Structure 1
Amino acid sequence: MMVIFLTVNLLNIHHGYNFRDLGGYHTQDGKTLRAHKLVRAGKLSDLSDRDLSYLADYGVRDDVDFRSPDEKKMAPDRVPEGTVYHFDPVFPHDETKVSKSWAEEQQAFSLDALGGHHNMIRTYGDMIVNPTSQKAYRAFFDVLLANENSGQSVLFHCSAGKDRTGMAAVFLLSALGVDEATIRTDYLTTNDYVGGALQAVLDKAKAGGANANMLQGLTDLWVAKPEYLDTALATIDKNYGSMAQYLHQALQLTGGELKDLRQFYLI
């Protein structure tokens, strides 16, 4: 398999993680993604006033929040001045973490070291075929299609900027004509930036008496694994035949809209 080394444009955010500008990626036909147009990110709830000012100056004009209603309620976004907030839940609840009580989750994960891994495999398949997910990703493209002004960025995020955000990036980069090796590398790059947040989760679990199985399960919830993305891509191929067909049939992107996206976001 081809290995791609990306130049990652990490934003200078002090109270958040995994904020990345996708500008600079190349398409298969020799074009380049514009900078200051597409930003993928983790949660915005902890941003400082300085971070908000930074994002406003960076040009962020749309904030697309893929989290569930409960996640939004527990940790509402801090939105930069002048930015339009779009609540766009991919799931009605957070399927990227086990939807059980903490006590039930501890019990299940403590008995099975692969519990978190299996949960993520199921989630990635569901993200492809779930009508709520498809509606959310179509709404995301509607925001992208309304952002033709140069220098204005669409920021899209979930909690860690890994799964729901990761698949949004997969769909978007595919629509723009980026090759699969680059898309895969972008997806896995999240692992370079979630280590601190993961360690905090593991430390809290250890303090609560979590065993090795539980710690492995939690780790699998927090990292981006090739097999998670492979599950999504295999589900697309099985149900739609190809990514191009998925974008057309499930997300209802027309040829004209694909042309507009490439005009807005490529140089």
Structure 2
Amino acid sequence: MNQVIPFQGTRNFRDMGGYRTVDGRKVKRGLLFRSDELTALSEQDMAAFKALNIRTIFDYRDESEARHKPDPEIAGVMNIRLSAVPEAQASQINLPGHMEKHKRSSHYIVDLVQSGFFKQFRAEDLLLELYSKAAINNPSYKRLMDLIQQPDRLGLLQHCTAGKDRTGVGSALILLALGVSEATIMEDFLLTNEIMRAYNNEQLRMLSEKLNDEELRNVEQMLGVKEAFMDAVFVSIKRTYGGIEDYLSKEFGLGHEKRETLQEMCLES
């Protein structure tokens, strides 16, 4: 839990440093961060945020999500947004970004409830599909992996809405490139459940009067993460490319020399 950085306006903000790589080195702190949406950062939060020396905010949300809850503009920080979910896929499943006919709420789960999402889809199946496709030929992650190789763009914060799905995949790809094991990546991924447990339980309690049992189970699946989701990422990578090294090289141009350079920049003994 020492990864978590407490803010009033976010719930899942973390420094990705501290994880051990398979060769025994450790990811440096203060270079790579992950978070949920940033629109509610308070004045106190902004002072603490600036102290982190973040130079780049990379946003995985689509245009509608970002318009509804915009990122703060901070002097000296570059804001980059590139949706991690293809437009056709997002519209097909009626994700919150495609809810312009509905009045948007303060929480994406409420938006999904209002859209009828949980009456139409089984959340676990949907999420498994999203994860299985996310890491292959995705322009958003290609841009991310280019940015982390640029020293002047670090510290880099990547985020989406809840900081668990799109951000979870992005975090996994960064840690893979740095030589962190799949087991440790899974630990980082599942940490969301621990961090968000109290808040998510409160959301379920509030929604229990509005939804039937099946819909409530769907909401519970959508609020959390499961090993099967990240396993779907690893499986799709290996099925497509045969292994992690070939994936990083062919998908992102991260061959041996570039990976060594990246690791020298982001790792310590």
The TM-score, its normalising length taken from structure 2, stands at 0.85
| Segment of structure 1 superposing worse, 33-42 or 79-88 | 79-88
Given the alignment, which residue of 172, 175, 193 partners 2:174? 172
Higher mean alpha-carbon deviation, 71-80 vs 161-170, is at 71-80
**Alignment partner of 1:83 out of 77, 85, 89:** 77
- Whether the 8 Å contact between 2:146 and 2:252 is mirrored in structure 1 is no
Q: Structure 1 residue 80: deviation in Å?
A: 3.7
- What is the CA deviation profile of residues 121-148 of structure 1, one whole-angstrom value per residue up to 9, with x for unaligned ones? 111112133x3xx211111122211125
Task: Give the 3 Å change call, closer, same or farther, for CA 76–197 of structure 1 in structure 2.
Answer: farther
Residues of 1 paired with 2:68 and 2:199: CA distance? 17
Q: Which consecutive residues of structure 1, in runs of 5 or more, have no partner in the other structure? A: 1-6, 110-114
Q: Hey, what does 1:156 align to over in structure 2?
A: 158
Q: Secondary structure at the match of 2:116?
A: helix
- Tell whether 2:63 aligns with 1:62: no
Q: Report if aligned partners of 2:118, 2:219 keep a CA contact under 8 Å in 1.
A: no
Structure 1 stretch displaced more, 188-197 or 236-245:
188-197
Question: 1:31 deviation in Å?
Answer: 1.1
Distance 2:5 2:68 in 1: 25
**Within 5 A, what are the aligned runs for 1:21-170?**
21-93=15-87, 95=90, 98-99=93-94, 102-108=114-120, 115-129=122-136, 131=137, 134-147=138-151, 152-170=154-172
Indicate conservation of the 8 Å contact 1:96/1:123, yes or no. Answer: no
| Distance change (3 Å), C-alpha of 1:250 and 1:170 | same
**Paired position in structure 2 for 1:223:** 224
Contact 1:24–1:35, Cα closer than 8 Å, also in 2: yes
- Contact 2:135–2:141 under 8 Å retained in 1: no
Contact 2:33 2:156 in 1 (8 A): yes
Tell me the distance in 2 between the aligned counterparts of 1:155 and 1:255. 25
CA RMSD for the aligned pairs?
2.3
- CA-CA distance at 1:119 after TM superposition: 0.8
What is the aligned counterpart of 2:194 among 192, 217, 225? 192
Q: Would the aligned equivalents of 1:67 and 1:159 in 2 still touch at CA under 8 Å?
A: yes
- Separation of aligned partners in 1, 2:73 and 2:175: 25
Which residue of structure 1 aligns with residue 111 of structure 2?
none
Q: CA deviation at 1:79?
A: 4.1
- Offset of 1:98 from its aligned partner? 4.3
User: How many residues get paired?
Assistant: 250
Residue 108 of structure 1 aligns to which amino acid in structure 2? Answer: Q
Whether the 8 Å contact between 1:42 and 1:157 is mirrored in structure 2 is yes
